[in-house]
Amino acid sequence: MEKLKIFYLKYKHAVPLIIYAIIYMTWFAWLEKNTTGHYRIIHMAADDYIPFCEVFVIPYFLWFAYVSAVVIYFFFKNKEDYYRTCIFLFTGMTIFLIVSTLWPNGQHLRPAVMPRDNIFTRMVAALYRTDTPTNLWPSIHVYNSLGAHFAIIRSKCFEKKKGIRIGSLILASSIIMATMFIKQHSVFDVLTAFVMAAVMYTLVYRYDLLIAVREFRNKRKAKPQIG
């Protein structure tokens, strides 16, 4: 029992992550199931000039490992950075869920027939079968990639690790481009994700929302001094 208590105290910061993951996946699954033919079509003229390039499916799938690795790393290495990363990611993901619920959206950018037959087009086809072209705005692939990169470049853990910082930038950039090149997102989804990420960067890293919330809680807990 004592070991269990020690384990909980050491890793209790996993609780918010687990709870939010359950809420997010349940909500998103409901959206995917219930967003059918009645949704707003997202399209920009720039979308028509972006060619379909199936090789970008690789960085697109790497997104899952990239974001997860950043969160897990900070979970074990630095709680402050972990909480900042979670605040950044969870806020944007919640806004995405609310937008998708109130304003169902989708796109018609996907090619009707694959222009080529290779391993990459087959991977894209498999992605299309499992992921509907709905609930796209703003792009969480883009937003979370920016969030993961911001977490790395703002952390003292990687302050002197230039290779990791550059590698993160390249990977994040590749993932962002992938959302458009494999026709998963409109340029509009990408641009709005950048705007949302810029706002959250200001709140989380410039203003340091984590410290602000902590100071507010400490003030409320402080007992009034009796003269």
- Answer whether residue 170 is part of any domain: yes
pTM confidence score: 0.90
**What are the pLDDT tens digits along the chain (227 aa)?**
777 767 666 888 899 999 999 999 999 999 988 887 788 999 999 999 999 999 999 999 999 999 999 999 999 999 999 999 999 999 999 999 999 999 999 999 999 999 999 999 999 999 999 998 999 999 999 999 999 999 999 999 999 999 999 999 999 999 999 999 999 999 999 999 999 999 999 999 988 766 666 666 566 666 555 44
b/e per residue, 7-34, with b = 16+ CB within 10 A? eeeeeeeeeebeeeeeebeebbeebeee
The pLDDT value recorded for residue 189 is 97
The pLDDT value recorded for residue 72 is 97
The pLDDT value recorded for residue 134 is 92
**10 Å Cβ neighbour count for 60?**
21
The pLDDT value recorded for residue 222 is 60
Q: How many CA atoms lie within 13 A of 206 on its CB side?
A: 7
- Answer whether residue 94 is part of any domain: yes
Domain of residue 151: give its range: 2-34+52-208
The pLDDT value recorded for residue 148 is 98
The pLDDT value recorded for residue 227 is 44
- Answer whether residue 219 is part of any domain: no
**Neighbouring-strand partners of residue 5:** none
The pLDDT value recorded for residue 36 is 74
- Answer whether residue 46 is part of any domain: no
- Answer whether residue 223 is part of any domain: no
The pLDDT value recorded for residue 210 is 66
3-state SS, one letter per residue, for 35-71: CCCCCEECCCHHHHHCCCCHHHHHHHHHHHHHHHHHH
Residue where the block lists tokens 């687990």: 18
- Answer whether residue 224 is part of any domain: no
Number of domains in the chain: 1
- Answer whether residue 99 is part of any domain: yes
- Answer whether residue 180 is part of any domain: yes
The pLDDT value recorded for residue 35 is 80
